[in-house]
């Protein structure tokens, strides 16, 4: 898209000033991802024609990736407050109160999830790596030490010619960056579906911990205060990355490779330590990560949040390439960079810290009271833009959404009828445990350092990851979840389910769920059916958050996830990925999914009605994606989860597992695999009972069967921990065979 302009500028160094002031043609406007109406708004805001630098700045700030112009109107309807929410959406990350730390210090968890979808499809290693780097900076820029990374990955068909390369590159990028920077990657999710053939999703989440009295925000204040650039030098990588991320893929996909950023995790580690050291002082007024849109977004957001103005001297920006222009410097998305506002007179103190960590440090501007962004270069003003139109007054669209009836007709989800019978539940179980969506992810998570820091208490493979709050007996629990097939079949129910699933998973380890972040991945919002997915999913998410007292404190929107040129389906499935965080008061009481003792009773909490619509069993065994998804009763979700948490707190149960994809029998198989112990089951005699995906359910085991009673909570004994096989009335699957099937997918795919 904007590449030709970038090239012309670079190759006409002697014409920089003339190029700055050159005529803006309709083609140049279109190349910057702006339509005629938006350009008219720019003319009105400026009172004149912009130059190329100014147009580029408007282009990235008004991109979907930065402005959320198609989603803001709906995001405003989401619940974002609670007594324990310290800072909700609007800052780099969300902040919640997590109680006492060592010596009675009041602590906060700071967390967010972000997307790096388009870059990861174009260049999977660097796309995924810089996605991790970017979300780490969002967290530590607020004063938190990152303690855990998570991810949510969606890939296309394993037999797609590019998919093995994409999976290998993404996993290597996540591991390579996270392992080097010294933050454990403790969990996540990975799914496969043909809808992601041409547009994979890479969503990264980071959780950090900070003292509540040492939280930093991004508002630039204080007339004349110095603006400081720290970190790595600015290069030409990632220019127009935000614009690229706000468009679908066309035939020119390979030409977009230069828009992918290049990361350096070792520099990121130095940057974390330097920033945290400076944050321990009183020198910082405001701080902002240079993420999407780089120096542009960071400076605009800081000035806007502080209701101030800003002036930057582009000659002082540290550059690693010769002859860089203001256009390139402002739009570069080079990694490992931060922008700060310091207190007057603290420059040398701060510089000494960054010199010690061998990082660039430069005073490049100051805070003004003009309400404008002004850039100077070689003694000339090359940009003068009022900040209001750039940020707060960016375009806001209430795009048409298809009605529920029209969406249902478009989606063409067939009603559930003529459900086939299962002739061998054991054989079905083996097939399901070997399918891409349920197979062991050990090949993935074994490439991640999950133990660095020494506080990881529960790893991938359980319901939620658990990381100790350092120096205490308390812990954070976290989970990422979404069932895109549910969201496609019924966006509202799918949005509810995604939130409820994280709530269940966090509850299943014994923690109290407190808040969520999200990464809202959808296709082209200009299509009414896609807008119906967005509106429906957000309505479902909002209702679930309100019913569960589980607010949304941060998030990201990624639109235009579709491809017309890569052999994949046009649009991805609607994928509102949810990242939940909760607190476990006593890590010694943490629950796990593994069966514990021979003879323990196995109970299911919740109603089992045998819902097979949109089930993994129906898809994998019979090639059908039919029926409505399972309905989500939010009152039951809350009641059942609260009951399970109490059982864990009272040490009444010794194993707990949420029932999700694949239903009861898959959940029991996972518990058997985690422990090496088998089970003898009763009343699991057909596909609906075995593989139905009814919600609000947990499996628990206990030696105290007489205690398993509670008013209004459906509880049913379904078996006993025993032997070395998963055994029912008409089937028996040895754990060894189950393990072989479970391990086969990635082993055969990656080693075959």
Enzyme catalytic residues: 65, 116
Evaluate whether 611 touches 534 at the Cβ level (below 8 Å): no
d(CA 369, CA 373): 10
Instruction: Tell me the β-bridge partners of 563.
Output: 249
Backbone angles phi, psi at 468, to 5 degrees: -60, 145
Positive or negative torsion for Cα 354, 455, 444, 109: negative
d(CA 517, CA 476): 15
Q: How many CB atoms lie within 10 A of CB 541?
A: 30
Evaluate whether 651 touches 703 at the Cβ level (below 8 Å): no
- Tokens matching residue 713: 């909570």
Q: How many CB atoms lie within 10 A of CB 607?
A: 16
Q: How many CB atoms lie within 10 A of CB 46?
A: 17
Map 323-352 to HEC letters. Answer: CCCHHHHHHCCCCCEEEEEECCCCHHHHHH
Pick the closest to residue 460 from 448, 440, 445, 475 (CA basis): 445
Q: How many CB atoms lie within 10 A of CB 677?
A: 22
- Tokens matching residue 521: 């991945």
Give me the sheet containing 679-681, strands edge to edge. 655-658, 698-702, 601-605, 715-721, 679-681, 725-727, 732-734
Q: Which residues of 279-417 form beta strands (DSSP E)?
A: 284-289, 309-313, 337-342, 360-368, 372-377, 380-386
Angle (CA) 467 468 469, round 5°:
120
Evaluate whether 141 touches 289 at the Cβ level (below 8 Å): yes
**Count of alpha carbons within 13 angstroms of residue 245, beta-carbon side:** 35
d(CA 493, CA 516): 18
Task: Classify burial at 215, counting beta carbons within 10 Å of its beta carbon; exposed 0-12, middle 13-18, buried 19 or more.
Answer: middle
Determine which helix (DSSP H) or strand (DSSP E) holds 45, and give its type and residue range: helix 36-46
């Amino acid at each position: 898209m904007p590449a030709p302009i970038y090239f012309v500028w670079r190759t006409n160094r002697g014409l920089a000033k003339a190029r700055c002031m050159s005529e803006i043609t309709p083609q140049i406007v279109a190349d910057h991802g702006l339509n005629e109406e938006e350009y008219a708004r720019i003319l009105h805001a400026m009172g004149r024609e912009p130059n190329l630098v100014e147009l580029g700045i408007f282009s990235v700030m008004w991109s979907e990736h930065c402005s959320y112009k198609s989603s803001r109107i709906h995001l405003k309807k989401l619940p974002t407050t609670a007594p324990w929410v310290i800072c909700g959406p609007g800052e780099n990350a969300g902040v919640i109160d997590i109680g006492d730390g060592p010596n009675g210090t009041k602590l906060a968890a700071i967390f967010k999830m972000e997307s790096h979808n388009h870059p990861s499809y174009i260049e999977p290693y660097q796309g995924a790596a810089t996605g991790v780097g970017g979300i780490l900076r969002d967290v530590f820029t607020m004063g938190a030490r990152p303690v855990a990374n998570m991810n949510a990955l969606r890939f296309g068909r394993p037999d797609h010619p590019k998919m093995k390369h994409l999976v290998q590159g993404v996993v290597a990028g996540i591991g390579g960056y996270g392992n080097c920077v010294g933050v454990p990657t403790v969990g996540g999710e990975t799914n496969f579906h043909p809808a992601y053939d041409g547009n994979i999703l890479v969503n990264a989440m980071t959780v950090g911990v900070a003292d509540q009295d040492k939280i930093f925000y991004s508002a630039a204040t204080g007339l004349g205060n110095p603006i400081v650039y720290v970190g790595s030098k600015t290069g030409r990588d990632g220019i127009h990355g935000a614009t690229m991320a706000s468009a679908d893929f066309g035939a020119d996909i390979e030409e977009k490779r230069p828009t992918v950023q290049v990361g350096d995790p070792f520099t990121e580690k130095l940057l974390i330590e330097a920033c945290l050291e400076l944050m321990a002082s009183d020198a910082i007024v405001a701080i902002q990560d240079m993420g999407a849109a780089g120096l542009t977004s960071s400076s605009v957001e800081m000035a806007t949040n502080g209701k101030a103005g800003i002036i930057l001297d582009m000659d002082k920006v540290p550059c690693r390439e010769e002859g860089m222009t203001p256009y390139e410097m402002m739009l570069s998305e080079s990694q490992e960079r931060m922008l700060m506002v310091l207190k007057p007179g603290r420059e040398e103190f701060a510089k000494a810290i960054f010199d010690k960590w061998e990082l660039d440090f430069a005073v490049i501007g100051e805070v003004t009271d003009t309400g404008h962004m002004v850039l100077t270069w070689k003694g000339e003003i090359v940009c003068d833009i009022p900040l209001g139109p750039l940020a707060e007054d960016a375009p806001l669209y209430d795009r048409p959404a298809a009605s529920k009836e029209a969406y249902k007709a478009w989606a063409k989800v067939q009603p559930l009828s003529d459900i086939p019978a299962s002739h061998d539940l054991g054989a079905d179980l083996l097939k399901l445990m070997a399918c891409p969506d349920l197979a062991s992810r050990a090949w993935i998570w074994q490439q991640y350092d999950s133990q660095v820091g020494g506080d990881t208490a529960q790893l991938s493979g359980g319901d939620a990851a658990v990381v100790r709050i350092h120096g205490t007996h308390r812990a954070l629990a976290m989970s990422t979840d979404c069932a895109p097939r549910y969201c496609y079949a019924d966006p509202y129910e799918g949005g509810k389910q995604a939130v409820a699933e994280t709530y269940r998973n966090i509850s299943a380890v014994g923690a109290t769920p407190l808040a969520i972040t999200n990464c809202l991945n959808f296709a082209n919002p200009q299509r009414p059916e896609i807008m119906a997915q967005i509106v429906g999913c957000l309505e479902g998410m909002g209702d679930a958050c309100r019913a569960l007292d589980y607010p949304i404190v941060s998030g990201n929107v990624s639109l235009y996830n579709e491809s017309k040129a890569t052999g994949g389906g046009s649009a991805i499935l609607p994928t509102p990925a949810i990242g939940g965080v909760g607190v476990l008061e006593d890590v010694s009481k943490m629950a796990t999914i593994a069966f514990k003792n021979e003879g323990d009773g196995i109970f299911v909490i919740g109603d089992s009605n045998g819902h097979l619509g949109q089930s993994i069993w129906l898809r994998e065994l019979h090639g059908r994606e039919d029926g409505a998804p399972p309905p989500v009763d939010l009152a039951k979700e809350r009641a059942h989860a609260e009951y399970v948490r109490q059982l864990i707190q009272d040490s009444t149960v010794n194993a707990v597992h949420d029932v999700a994809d694949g239903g009861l029998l898959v959940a029991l198989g996972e518990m058997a695999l985690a422990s090496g112990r088998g089970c003898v089951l009763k009343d699991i005699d057909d596909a609906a009972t075995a593989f139905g995906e009814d919600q609000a359910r947990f499996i628990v085991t206990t030696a105290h069967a007489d205690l398993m009673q509670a008013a209004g909570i459906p509880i049913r004994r379904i078996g006993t921990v025993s032997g070395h096989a998963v055994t029912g009335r008409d089937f028996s699957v040895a754990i060894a065979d189950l393990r072989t099937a479970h391990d086969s997918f990635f082993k055969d795919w990656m080693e075959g």
